[in-house]
Amino acid sequence: MVLAGLTAMSLAACGDAGSGGSGGSGGSGGSGGGDAITMGFAQVGAESGWRTANTKSVQDAAKSAGVTLKFSDAQQKQENQIKAIRSYIQQRVDVIAFSPVVESGWDTVLKEAKDANIPVILTDRAVDSADTSLYKTFLGSDFVEEGRKAGQWLVEEYQDGSETVNIVELQGTTGSAPANDRKAGFQEIIQADPKFKIIASQTGDFTRAKGKEVMEAFLKAHPDIDVLYAHNDDMGLGAIEAIEGAGKVPGQDIKIITVDAVRDGMQALADGKINFIVECSPLLGPQLMDLAKKVVAGQQVPARVVTEETTFTQEQAKQVLSTRQY
């Protein structure tokens, strides 16, 4: 009984944590009537600058759109996200949106939402469920393409040489869509030329601290690293500290490619410590609210909405840094 009580309390706390919405009187429980709706949003965590910007975008957009937002932070744990989604189902929100920590293991909870007639929108990250009727749409980046862009820059950078290029890779959270896809896209491009060799690849969990720790280990084991490919800016920034700690010059002794283009990453790019950044936009809030309203109103939405993104060289970073929103 004590355990059941505690579980119920943690579900309630999870569902209400950080509720950032305002406006509207909706959320009366899956009614979908009128403009005022309640969204339950199950966020991955607060692991990176990208995630912080994404959370702000969702909370700000909910406010502007008059959507009542119930927000939860899963601290990068799938079980927390599943609890939050179940709590939103119990609360009869109008729509559930979430950014899945990992790709697998969602079918059961998504079926529960479907059985309760609560539409689900995937945002930022995908799930690998074969049954695509379990969610209405998926809004987010093409992570494979991001990996390809990283690989294409590398191929161009080394087009004139024939010597081996030793690459180390800092992967994102194991099992997450961006880690899987950014790895695959990068590999697809570099494998065309055998001079590119990934000599070490390990997760840094998308955090600065882990990026530093893993890069320190890479540097100890491999004195001959030419390139670091980090699946996000934060891990790249942690790795820069490790590289400098080892007496090497980031951006010169070791070339660095990252993904995201958050302000700290762009600053390091402008400073010459990173060589190339592939953009991944966290500003998904306005599109998410738009899709949510349509879905709740029973309107058709595209099954996939891909975010528009670019890439940045060091020169381009210097030009746009002062106007960067996040």
Judged by CB under 6 A, the chain residues 200 through 219 that form the site for ligand AHR are 206
| Least distance in angstroms from the C-beta of 50 to ligand AHR | 3
- Distance separating alpha carbons of residues 150 and 85, to the nearest angstrom: 34
Is 260 strand, coil or helix?
strand
Q: Does the protein bind ligand AHR through residue 151 (CB under 6 A)?
A: no
Q: Which part of the chain contacts ligand AHR (CB under 6 A), choosing from 30-38, 42-50, 151-159, 289-297? A: 42-50
Q: Does the protein bind ligand AHR through residue 229 (CB under 6 A)?
A: no
Nearest to ligand AHR of 125, 210 (CB atom): 125
| Least distance in angstroms from the C-beta of 33 to ligand AHR | 33
Instruction: Rule CB under 6 A: choose which of 50, 71, 153, 218 binds ligand AHR.
Output: 50
Q: Do residues 7 and 82 touch, judged by C-beta distance below 8 A?
A: no
Instruction: Rule CB under 6 A: choose which of 36, 239, 259, 296 binds ligand AHR.
Output: 259
Judged by CB under 6 A, the chain residues 87 through 126 that form the site for ligand AHR are 124-125
Q: Does the protein bind ligand AHR through residue 280 (CB under 6 A)?
A: yes
- Distance separating alpha carbons of residues 78 and 84, to the nearest angstrom: 10
Q: Do residues 256 and 250 touch, judged by C-beta distance below 8 A?
A: yes
Report the DSSP pairing between strands 311-312 and 276-279.
antiparallel
- Distance separating alpha carbons of residues 144 and 141, to the nearest angstrom: 9
- Distance separating alpha carbons of residues 71 and 78, to the nearest angstrom: 15
Dihedral sign, CA of 51, 52, 58, 59? positive
Instruction: Rule CB under 6 A: choose which of 103, 169, 260, 279 binds ligand AHR.
Output: 260
Q: Cα 242 vs. chain centroid, distance in angstroms?
A: 24
- Distance separating alpha carbons of residues 52 and 325, to the nearest angstrom: 12
Q: Which part of the chain contacts ligand AHR (CB under 6 A), choosing from 45-53, 64-72, 109-117, 159-167? A: 45-53
| Least distance in angstroms from the C-beta of 108 to ligand AHR | 23
Q: Which residues bind ligand AHR (CB under 6 A)?
A: 47-48, 50-51, 124-125, 178, 206, 232, 234, 259-260, 280
